[in-house]
Structure 1
Amino acid sequence: MSQPTGRPGSEVQVHVPAQFHVPAPGGGRLWAERVGSGSPVVLLHGSGMDSRLWDAVLPELAHHHDVIRYDARGLGRSAEPERPFDDVEDLRAVLDHFGLARAALVGLSLGGETALDFALAHPDRVTALGLIGSSVSGHDWPPTPETTAYAEARRRGDAAALAELELSVWAALGRTAPGGELIATMVEENAARRIVSEHFLAGAPGRPAEPRLGEVAVPTLVVHGDRDHPEIAAIAKRLAADIPGARARLLPAADHYLPLRTPERLTGLLLAHLP
């Protein structure tokens, strides 16, 4: 089956999801999926997850937009890295592969951080930002027993301990809440691969984003859940205050995995925000 590649400024219609293997900078492949029609939107997941994070959001979003989601380097169906890599350059490779001169970026957690770093590095290629439970490069996370336990699990290469920490700290609503089984499956399947991927992740490009938030010049939506980690709430407050014109929303009954916990509310916010 021939696959659409798209051209800058063109509207692509993909009514049945099409899957791709995008060449990654420095070698390897990134698994990606494209569906829908309209203005382009790229969805980015967070650490230890994969693009299944967007399963409950994608169908409605694709009724209105040309949507691309992909698995970050070493996670999901993407190839494991063998050398240092940069998430921002991987995102640029995805946009280039699909011939997108500009797109809206929606990212959760580290995916939001990558989207924000990309918007600062390549402002002419971003039409809007959706920062969902986002982290931000340059943020000074306070030391806690949790961060110490994470570091120790990574040092030992203990995938089971890392998965258990991820679910207890970031998926506080548990397996019985909406999306719970898929969240647990994603985290457990990606735990070992996450340790390898994070070992090679090169980190934020150039200057950190936190002191540069005033330079963001695209419409920005900042969303977090009322049951998310307290530091994510602090970051959301900073993003909303320092990004010019940013709009902030707090969603009830949601932890860090917002797109699976409360997909209808989040989709509604995104559809109202995206160009």
Structure 2
Amino acid sequence: MSPHTAPPAVEVHVPVPGGDRLWAERRGSGSPLVLLHGSGTDSRLWDAVAPALARHHDVIRYDARGLGRSSGPKQPFDDVADLTAVLDHFGLGSAALVGLSMGGETALDFALAHPGRVAALGLVGASVSGHDWPPSPETAAYAEARRRGDAAALAELELSVWAAMGRDAPGGELIATMVEENSARRIVSEHHLAGGAPARAAEPLLGTVTAPTLVVHGDRDHPEIAAIARRLAADIPGARGHLVQGADHYLPLRTPDRLTDLLLTHLA
């Protein structure tokens, strides 16, 4: 597919249930593609891949409720309902969904709830609802930081556990900036999300996923993400798995060219 010049990006604020608004950006032309970021960051996660994807696709990315430039929740909310609102706002009956970590979990939950609205799935370093994470000092420290509302401790944990390659690796400064800017707001957002989203368990339902699925994770990511990736690739019918060298959890900023190539091939 030969690249072409993409139209300029347009920024909007999408209304969602409860009166909040999500910051969103739309750029490019072609088949629609929605990018979903992880829990400790915002849509800047896709800065290094969105322009290239937009040469071939109608690309939408947005900041999840309470993060980035989106308004903070004042009541419980559901991230799957928010994704529905984004698609409806842009008049999209269906779209390809590409999500990292929490964004991958949301994309998969949406695909199970609304299979006719998902043209393809890209699960990047994805978590999955219903997964039983093994106890560890890291998970205990996360729980304690959230309990105390300690944003600085939460940011430090996020960077030490998930950004193993450090600030000096590609994208390191932006990763640190996003994590540090979002840590306090993340505590509030996660509290309201936990109270608003219905209990979901995608793991037992992976065999019912109908969308063509690409599963990607980095060789420097958390071992449990690698285990989840193997499960996703094995249990989702027809799914293809790829291990990317030289990337931790923040793969779109660590190895953007490789991820872009994988996504464009998958979505062609």
TM-score (norm 1): 0.94
Secondary structure of the corresponding residue to residue 7 of structure 2: strand
1:9 is matched with: none
The one-letter code of the counterpart of 2:233 is A
- Count matched residues: 263
Q: CA deviation at 1:14?
A: 6.7
Match of 2:224 in 1: 231
User: CA–CA distance in 1 between the matches of 2:46 and 2:232?
Assistant: 23
Q: Which residue, 207, 210, 221 being the options, matches 2:214?
A: 221
* Alignment pair present for 1:188 and 2:180: yes
**CA–CA separation in structure 2 for the residues paired with 1:142 and 1:84:** 27
User: Counterparts of 1:86-165 in structure 2 under 5 Å?
Assistant: 86-165=78-157
Question: 1: distance between equivalents of 2:73 and 2:199?
Answer: 21
Aligned partners of 2:215 and 2:233 also within 8 Å: yes
Q: CA contact under 8 A between 1:14 and 1:34: conserved in structure 2?
A: no
1:3 equivalent in structure 2:
none
Runs of 4+ in 1 over 3 A off after TM superposition: 202-207
Distance 1:120 1:204 in 2: 15
Q: Residue 205 of structure 1: CA displacement?
A: 3.7
Distance 2:188 2:94 in 1: 31
CA contact (8 A) 2:6 2:54 kept: no
CA distance in 1, matches of 2:51, 2:213: 22
1:170 alignment partner in structure 2: 162
Report the equivalent of 2:257: 264
Query: Where does the alignment leave 5 or more consecutive residues of structure 2 unmatched?
Result: none
Paired residue for 1:240, among 233, 239, 243?
233
1:4 corresponding residue in structure 2: none
Distance 1:253 1:146 in 2: 23
Q: Which residue of 2 aligns with 1:5?
A: none
More deviation in 200-209 or 55-64?
200-209
Query: Quick check: 1:217–1:244 contact (8 Å CA) kept in 2?
Result: yes
Q: Report if aligned partners of 1:137, 1:204 keep a CA contact under 8 Å in 2.
A: no
The Cα of 1:16 is off from its aligned counterpart by 0.7
Map of 2:56 onto structure 1: 64
Deviations 1:7-39 (A, max 9, x none): xxxxxx971110000001111100000000000
In the alignment, is residue 25 of structure 1 matched against residue 17 of structure 2?
A: yes
In the TM superposition, what whole-angstrom CA distance separates every residue of 1:45-69 from its partner, at most 9, and x where no partner exists?
0001000000000111000000000
Residues 65-84 of structure 1 correspond to what in structure 2 (within 5 A)? 65-84=57-76
TM-score calculated relative to the size of structure 2: 0.96
Aligned CA-pair RMSD:
1.1
Three-state SS of the structure 2 residue aligned to 1:141 is coil
**Following TM superposition, by how much is the alpha carbon of 1:153 offset from its aligned partner in structure 2, in angstroms?**
0.5
> 1:74-130: CA deviations, max 9, x gaps?
000000001110000000000000000000000000000000000000000000000
**Alpha-carbon distance in structure 2 between the residues aligned to 1:91 and 1:106:** 12
CA deviations 1:226-245 (Å, max 9, x no partner) are 00000000000000000000
Q: Secondary structure at the match of 1:201?
A: helix
Q: Structure 2: which amino acid aligns with 1:249?
A: H
Distance, in Å, in 2 between the alignment partners of 1:178 and 1:123 is 35
Question: Alpha-carbon deviation of 1:204?
Answer: 5.5
